[in-house]
Amino acid sequence: MLPSYGVIGVFAIVAILFPLVALSIAWLVRPKKPTPLKKSTYECGMETFGDTWVQFRVQYYLYALVFVLFDIETVFLLPWAVVYNQLGLFALAEMLLFITLLVVGLVYAWRKGALEWL
Amino acid sequence: MLDAIRNLWSLIYNLFPNLAQALAAFLRGTGLPGWGVDLLMALLSALVVVISVLLGMLGMTLMERKVMGRMQNRLGPNRVGPLGLLQPIADAIKFLIKEDIVPTNADRWVHTLAPIVAAIPAVLVYAVIPFGKGMAAADLNIGVLYILAVSSITTIGIVMAGWASNNKYSLLGGMRAAAQIISYEVPLVLSMLVAVMLAGSLSLGKIVEAQGGLLGILGWNVFRVPFGTLAFLTYMICAVAELNRTPFDLPEGESEIVTGYITEYSGLKWGLFYLGEYFNAIAVSAIATTLFLGGWQGPILPPYVWFLGKVLVIVFILIWLRSTLPRFRVDQLMGFAWKVVLPIALVNIFVTGAAITLWQAFVK
């Protein structure tokens, strides 16, 4: 038998070829008649004004920071969940402590208003 | 006579694994080297999975339009072919022959790459899903982690699309999508963990097997009240949010930001986003089935029939939600993720842990 990751590799090749082949077929059969008006940026029928690539508020990135925190936590939780059956009460207490520390962080972010969308 | 019927039934029951074995035996008989047979079988399984999911996706688009039509007291598509059955094929052809418009101001390369990046993970996820008994293309021992890792690549495609289009609506849509998807990813992982804890394994095959046993249907994780049911509910909420489907379809809100990150897409590039979205919808339903509804487990009928039936039920629920609920506001959406679903999912993990410990203490 091919090792499982070999199958994943074959799958990846198929997955990459699939959109490429579809786009190539479309490239062959579709019409190509660009006009300047057609290629202008859409903005509800108006001429576009101002710059698109603007700066976002810093609050937006606070979500990303909180996310990184909790995503790392879930990475720690994954192996814990797998062996939980064998570890029992001690593991539960330990993880409870770990999560409590994180929840304190979440509550802090919450109270500081980091979770408000502006 | 009775034996013949029994043999036939066992053939139908394990139809696909039997077919695969017969084919592998035939290929070995033709004198191919061992690795060649393996490679060919892997390629074949990948192609079969991609084609069946593609058919499933076409079916889902039709089902969605039909069911939504009926729910809104109208007929839905009924002109192309008998009962409108050929409508998705007509749509697919239309995607192919539509002109591809790239705005002058857009970042040409990223604009072209974005739909490809969004479509690839949608296909890759299916590599580990057990469609029936022994019907996973690759039953990885870290299946759940693989799914999480692969499916989060879609976000990059969406942000690329929003950025490259150089359109204000697209940028807003892309940024909203990024914020929404990462926010709902945390409770999503936490609710999947409940199934992992109950099975003691990250392999999807093992998780399905753990839901079988003597209890029958009652062994499914969704029937393990309260934590299994709660995990299923939080999983479904987060999954719908990850899919950007109604009521969480803010990144593509037609009425406010003109379908968001796909405003500037046309032709097959738009089609690839659409395809990726439906592939993901079916994948999410399949994962929900595997983790919480017992996968292919079920009495009497063949495993793949059970699996298909359960996936169809979840797909129907997704469509039902779409035609029932209005759209959230952005602040409500983000608040809901961090202040409601995340605490529930966190507490649920510990309820599950306590329940397992109690079970071990009193039953064993």
| Residue B106: predicted pLDDT | 79
Which residues in chain A have their CB less than 8 angstroms from residue B335's CB? 115-117
Report whether pLDDT(B253) > 80: no
Which residues in chain B have their CB less than 8 angstroms from residue A14's CB? 43, 46-47, 50, 123
Report whether pLDDT(B256) > 80: no
Query: Which residues, 6 or more positions from B254, have their beta carbon under 8 angstroms from its beta carbon?
Result: none
Which residues in chain B have their CB less than 8 angstroms from residue A85's CB? 197, 200, 356, 360
Rounded average pLDDT over B252-266: 77
Please tell me which of the candidates A71, A89, A115 has its beta carbon nearest to residue B186.
Answer: A71
Rounded average pLDDT over B140-151: 88
> How far is the C-alpha of B239 from the C-alpha of A5, rounded, in Å?
26
Interface contact B120, partner A, CB < 8 A = yes
Residue A41 lies in a domain: yes
Which residues in chain A have their CB less than 8 angstroms from residue B37's CB? none
Rounded average pLDDT over B317-335: 86
> How far is the C-alpha of A112 from the C-alpha of B159, rounded, in Å?
28
Helical axes B34-71 vs B15-29, angle rounded to 10°: 150
> What SS3 state is found at B58?
helix
Residue A70 lies in a domain: yes
Lowest average pLDDT, out of B253-257, B279-283, B288-292, goes to B253-257
Report whether pLDDT(A2) > 60: no
Query: Which residues, 6 or more positions from B336, have their beta carbon under 8 angstroms from its beta carbon?
Result: B328
Q: What digits encode the pLDDT tens for the residues B73-99?
A: 888 888 887 888 888 888 888 888 888
> How far is the C-alpha of B331 from the C-alpha of A72, rounded, in Å?
25
Residue B355 pLDDT level (bands cut at 50, 70, 90)? confident
Residue A107 lies in a domain: yes
| Tokens 């035939």 sit on residue | B26
Asked if A81's CB is within 8 angstroms of B193's CB, the reply is yes
Report whether pLDDT(A47) > 80: no
The parent domain of residue A18 ranges over 2-111
Residue B282 pLDDT level (bands cut at 50, 70, 90)? very high
Residue A116 lies in a domain: no
**Selected residue with higher pLDDT from B279 and B132:** B279
| Residue A91: predicted pLDDT | 81
pLDDT > 90 in chain B, percent = 8
CA of B336: which chain A residue's CA is closest? A115
Q: B45, B156, B268: which to substitute to probe chain A, counting the most A Cβ within 10 Å?
A: B268
Domain total in chain A: 1
Instruction: List % helix, strand, coil for chain B (3-state, nearest 5).
Output: 75, 0, 25
**Selected residue with higher pLDDT from A87 and B214:** A87
Lowest average pLDDT, out of B2-16, B41-55, B78-92, B230-244, goes to B2-16
Rounded average pLDDT over B199-215: 82
Residue A97 lies in a domain: yes
Interface contact A95, partner B, CB < 8 A = yes
Q: What is chain B's mean pLDDT, rounded?
A: 85
> How far is the C-alpha of A91 from the C-alpha of A81, rounded, in Å?
10
Q: B51, B168, B356: which to substitute to probe chain A, counting the most A Cβ within 10 Å?
A: B168
Structure tokens at B40: 């060919």
Report whether pLDDT(A1) > 70: no
What is the pTM (predicted TM-score) of this model? 0.88
Interface contact A108, partner B, CB < 8 A = no
Interface contact A107, partner B, CB < 8 A = no
Please tell me which of the candidates A15, A103, A115 has its beta carbon nearest to residue B124.
Answer: A15
Rounded average pLDDT over B164-171: 82
Query: Which residues, 6 or more positions from B62, have their beta carbon under 8 angstroms from its beta carbon?
Result: B77, B84, B85, B87, B88
Asked if B166's CB is within 8 angstroms of A52's CB, the reply is yes
Min distance B43 CA to chain A CA atoms (Å): 6
Residue B209 pLDDT level (bands cut at 50, 70, 90)? confident
| Residue B235: predicted pLDDT | 92
| Residue A118: predicted pLDDT | 63
Rounded average pLDDT over A56-75: 81
| Buried b / exposed e along B26-55 (16+ C-beta atoms within 10 A) | ebeeeeeeeeebbbbbbebbbeebbeebbe
Report whether pLDDT(A83) > 70: yes
Asked if B356's CB is within 8 angstroms of A84's CB, the reply is yes
Instruction: Report the CATH number that the domain containing residue A23 is assigned in CATH.
Output: 1.20.58.1610
Query: Which residues, 6 or more positions from B155, have their beta carbon under 8 angstroms from its beta carbon?
Result: B177, B178, B181, B182
Report whether pLDDT(A99) > 70: yes
> How far is the C-alpha of B361 from the C-alpha of B317, rounded, in Å?
38
One-letter amino acid of B331: D
Touching A: B residues 47-86, CB under 8 Å? 47, 49-50
Structure tokens at A94: 């330990």
| Residue B364: predicted pLDDT | 65
Which residues in chain A have their CB less than 8 angstroms from residue B339's CB? 110, 115
CA of B163: which chain A residue's CA is closest? A53
Touching A: B residues 87-116, CB under 8 Å? 95-106, 115-116
